[in-house]
Structure 1
Amino acid sequence: MINFDYIRMGSISSAVKALDKFPDAKIIAGGSNLIDLMKRNVMAPTKLIDINPLPLKYIHTTKQGVQIGALALNSQAADHELIKTKYPLLSMAINAGASAQLRNMATFGGNMMQRTRCSYFYDTTMPCNKREPNSGCSALTGINRMHGIFGTSDVCIAVNPSDMNVALVALDAKVILKSAKKERTIAFADFHKLAGDSPQLDNHLQKNEMITDIIIPENQFYNNSYYLKVRDRHSYAFALISVAAGLEMDGQNIKKVRLAMGGVAHKPWRLYDAENFLQGKTASLQNFEEAAKIAMKGAKSYGHNDFKLALAPSSIVEALLKASHLS
């Protein structure tokens, strides 16, 4: 780890001004991912801007739904009565991630920003386009069991590791980003990016911006939500496949549906075509299997992750059965 300057900020305005002044600076809050990367020399910022004193730890209702500050802890949200009753999909996804100790440290903004757990990205002796552009992708012909099957490119097949992100995409969340000059709001589905030809860029956050809030609109999914995470062990393991399913039901009729997957792409993967197919249909095994088949269009595996082509659709069906209480 290289030497770095540590700057502790007391206000949002001072934090964004520091980001504007020091392009190489990185924000630190819980630090559970950033410090890991610094220890391994994967990232080497010369300045760390500590934002823990900022008043961004809230969770409260608004006219739009619920507003969550970027410094709210994962455990705080997962155990919050409002989240558990109105947005249980988010609570389930958060509790499926990491460990209790890490959830007690990890913040919403930090979880959004965490980087891939691709072993080649973490191994500085191996080529990795995400870590060093134009050096090559070792995963393409290497051990790629944990890697993507959707939206991949010939320069990167890494996946976004966050469970929380999958639920937020399914819940149509929005993100408020602030710089020294302006504030902007974007859809959570547009925050992260596919690798394309620039895999070193995980998202559309500008260097002089910071995340201040996440907004989740009201929905009617709270009686029919389920987060399924398939992994190698029950605790402290990243998803091989995960599925976030939210249904608004009228009897057995599906009025509205939201579906997203994790462990399959460089960003949380929303299943728009499957949603469109299911809307207005009856909740049934046959319809769920057809939706899963639709969701898998365009999927591509790379050898060690061939099993995901079968595991993913079966996981979609299981999540929908659980959410609709048919299983």
Structure 2
Amino acid sequence: MLIFNLSSTLTFTLMGIPGLESQRLWLSLPFSSMFLAILIGNGVILFLVATEPTFHTPVYLLLALLMVADLISTLALLPKLLCLLWFNDGDISANACFTQMFFIHGASVVRSALLVAMAFDRFVAVCEPLRYNTILSHSLVGRLGLVALAKGVILILPMPLLLQRLRFCHMVIPHTYCDHMAVVKMACDHTRPNRIYGLFVILLVVGLDLLLIGFSYGFILQAVVCLNSQDATRKALNTCSAHLFVILVTYGPALFSSLTHRIGHNIPSHAHVLLANLYLLLPSVLNPIIYGIKMKEIRHKVTKCLCRRPA
């Protein structure tokens, strides 16, 4: 058995979607469509927030940071995946593999932290509307963004560092990208620390962030129940609707993928890989659409730009 370590030149090969190698060209169509949709949708939101002074408010600034995290995750994943699907080029060096892993998983952690910050924003908007601008200042939004970034870097950086101590017996990764656990399974050394740390990150990110989001919406629900006016209740719920849809889109596929990976032993491997891509890409595709539909200011601005007649 050949054994490789990172002291020598090491190259992995991404298999893609196991069992569907003959369908790569057809699979490239939905993935390239998602790539285009993500670039256009997130780019439009970022452009509007950057150029429209009325969008320089906490909710839109946090939304812009979320769009940036989505773009980073997408740009780390899809270009290499499309090279694999279009040109059968699945080779990736160890350094590039670990870099891709860092940016994909790091962006996911940042995205989750930003959703917590956005839940706090919605809590203040509903429960403390008169103090909204005082509590959620631009400096606080900046600090929340830095905390989210620091959380992503601190939690994910140990993953590639721990992998560098391993020797690898297998070089073909049955995946479309350098997923942490997919790479860990290629090692022939003792990988228990890697597995424990990966589980720790999942529990800390998904478990703690969902708990904090749950607390925020618990207080929001309590405030909504106390409202006597149906119009006020409807307005409060509408304030949170876009964020609730984004939470469902972000955590729903991620939790389903995680559960099927651990208990769905009869599920084909290609289904696991497709789910892993879905939970990364689906939020990036749908977030601009959800906010474009649910937030009338964005919808109005986009409609105005599209319907503007040339002079």
The bucket for the TM-score relative to the shorter chain is under 0.3
Q: Which has the larger radius of gyration?
A: 2
**Greater RCO (CA < 8 Å, at least 6 residues apart):** 2
Structure richer in strand, relative to its length: 1
Structure richer in helix, relative to its length: 2
TM-score normalised over the length of structure 1? 0.26
